[in-house]
Structures are given as C-alpha cells and as structure tokens.
Amino acid sequence: MLLLTVKHIIADFVLQTGWMAHGKDQKTGWALPLLVHCLVHLGVALALILIVAPRFWFVAFIDFAIHIVIDRIKGLVSSRFGLTPEHPWFWTVIGVDQALHHLTDFALSIFMAAN
C-alpha cells in the first residue's frame, strides 16, 4: 500500500502538469492529456513494482486501466457541471476521485499481499 501511495503522490502531484490536470477535464481535447497523465501513472507504477515485486508487473497495467476510467468519469462530471474551484461540488468531486484512486491502491495491495 505504501508503494502505491508513493506512486500516486509522484504521478498525481509531482509529475502532473497543468496541461494534464486541466486538459483531461475539458469537453473536447481531453484524450491526449488524460492518456499522458495515465501513462505517467503506468510508468511510475511499473518502475516501482519492478523494483519491489517484479512478478506483479501486470498490476501497473490494471492500475492504468482503472485510473483512466476514474479520471474520465471525473472529467465528464467536471465538464458537464462546469466545475471550478469556486463551484460547491468541485472539492467533493476531487475528494471522491482521490478516494477511488486510494481504494484502487488498497485493493491492488490486498491482491499482491494475498498472492
């Protein structure tokens, strides 16, 4: 769990650019920023997993697939309702997004620990 949490902090906060963060939530032109953002997650996850538990390399690809779905849903909600930091739902949607990512990390951690 610690490994995947570190991955999430690096990929979602340290390496995510403004272009990715804003672009992936747009009504149009969202695909490339979303793909690049999720590929960053894939790269960081794969690197860390290969160092610590290489037999679980495929978990990075599962994380990638789930991450792209969660972020696309957040993007759809954000663009549909015009969510900006001033909107009352903005931080709730961000919180739900982060919670879903952490639940994903928790589930993947349980899977790796059990196998």
Say if CB 101 and CB 70 are below 8 A apart: yes
**Residue type at 20 in one-letter notation:** M
**What is the pTM assigned to this prediction?**
0.94
Residue 25 confidence (pLDDT):
94
Q: What is the mean pLDDT of the chain?
A: 97
* Number of domains making up the chain: 1
3-class DSSP assignment, residue 17: coil
CA distance 115 to 109: 10
pLDDT class of 31 with cuts at 50, 70, 90: very high
* Nearest residue to 11 via CA among 49, 38, 41, 33: 41
Query: For 85-102, what is each residue's pLDDT tens digit?
Result: 999 999 999 999 999 999
Range of the domain at 104: 2-114
Residue 103 confidence (pLDDT):
98
Residue 102 confidence (pLDDT):
97
* Nearest residue to 73 via CA among 54, 94, 44, 87: 94
Mean pLDDT calculated for residue range 27-47: 98
8-state DSSP, 84 = -
